[in-house]
A = this chain, B = another copy of it.
């Protein structure tokens, strides 16, 4: 990477505008990490203000070879925003306005730095929501959600950002500003660049504006908890729930390791021999919610169901979610480090997958805890390790490779919603078709001929 000469620094300051450039390492450090616990020092941080400023910055980077990394709030888990090759971090935290809200057309046009929570608040007042709801919704940004196609539990019914974005504005790696997509829910003029940019982790272009498709808020929601003897029964229930017309708006799963962990932390009001747990939510018009609940209860009721509880009050809902909520603090307490993998297998393979994980855990001596979005087959596989034990770290790395191999053998994919970044870069070549990967690389070099946009992320190194 090129040095930040005084001349270059002065040019960055001119482009950044007043109070929008950081170059002191002490100021820059906080913009060099994400939730992967990786960290690297950016050479400078610039606060994005508008498209023209971003285009000028991209051109300077393309001329000088400085890497440029767009960043929301650093909640990503893959190191995708960590400037491991130095360069400029372009923080979107100040570029967070709502540009236009058109409830009559069910759309909103926003800047990428807007947080998911503020978006939901703004559109919620008019009776709408934007379906993607990552766990980090309180702080994560729309730009980040689009970069990783981040979804969350509601995706099982309402889809991911790819199904809920109408168009984008962006700046490519030569500093050219362009617009993709439409303002409408149908449109087939030209190639679909909107979805090409979504999930590309800032490697093809820097998104400067997004037109989001909104959905009317459901009137009512019901929460159920189903305890099963074992994971195979639970997996069959997932298939049954997904095959009937009342699609759950959340269908979350915990395996026996996750239940045991939650149980170790607090008294759980759950049958002793529970081997797998499903949390099921349905939403819809208030007048239909009883019937909707009946339909999912019927689908969930298989031989092997130990207990089915319904919540109706807010307190009852909280009580049912208690097992799941107890999990994250428990994970943090018992293991100094967890490797949290975000893999997906076809729903029919969930049982086989969890069996395989159990075996891998036994073989490697690594404790593996599994939970996640079962309706999409999207499991978060957590390997709990002590980072100060080099032998365990080594075994965990081998175990992780075996987990990925198992996922691919079962017809799955290595990331459902966290993306690739640096963490999975070495593995995705095993999933991607080699010709498709060549085509992706060609697209990358065409959108970003100098290779300055988030270099080395997302695609495996050549």
Residues of A within 8 A of B (CB): 102-107, 127-128, 148-149, 151, 155-156, 159-160, 162-163, 172, 176-180, 182-193, 195-196, 198-200, 204, 216-219, 239, 242-247, 284-285, 287-288, 291-292, 294-295, 344-348, 373, 376-378, 411-420, 424, 428, 431-433, 435-440, 442-444, 446-447, 458-459
Contact = CB atoms under 8 A, between A and B. Distances in A.
A417 B190 contact: no
A287 B287 contact: no
A348 B288 contact: no
Contacts of A156: 185
A428 B373 contact: no
A461 B448 CA distance: 24
Given A105-B239, A151-B186, A187-B344, 16 more contacts: A105-B347, A176-B438, A184-B344, A186-B376, A186-B377, A187-B416, A190-B428, A190-B436, A190-B437, A190-B440, A195-B195, A216-B242, A285-B292, A288-B291, A443-B443, A446-B446
A446 B196 CA distance: 15
Given A104-B348, A172-B435, A188 B416 contact: yes
Contacts of A242: 106, 216
B127 A436 contact: no
29 contacts: A104-B243, A106-B243, A106-B347, A151-B186, A156-B185, A172-B435, A178-B435, A180-B433, A180-B436, A182-B413, A184-B412, A184-B416, A186-B344, A186-B413, A187-B413, A187-B415, A188-B415, A189-B428, A189-B432, A190-B428, A190-B432, A190-B440, A191-B199, A195-B195, A216-B243, A287-B288, A288-B291, A439-B446, A446-B446
B439 A182 contact: no
B190 A192 contact: no
Contact of A196 (B103, B189, B195, B413): B195
Contacts of A103: 243
Contact of A414 (B189, B413, B416, B439): B189
A189 B440 contact: no
Contact of A291 (B287, B378, B414): B287
A186 B149 CA distance: 9
A247 B217 CA distance: 11
Given A102-B348, A104-B243, A162-B195, A419 B178 contact: no
Nearest to A159: B163
Nearest to A107: B346
Contact of A417 (B186, B191, B199, B244): B186
A47 to B, nearest CB: 25
Nearest to A373: B186
Contacts of A437: 190
B413 A193 contact: no
A411 B186 CA distance: 13
Contacts of A294: 287
Contacts of A204: 191
A242 B190 CA distance: 27
B378 A184 contact: yes
A377 B128 CA distance: 19
A178 B185 CA distance: 29
B187 A245 contact: no
A191 B245 CA distance: 31
A292 B291 CA distance: 12
A245 B127 CA distance: 9
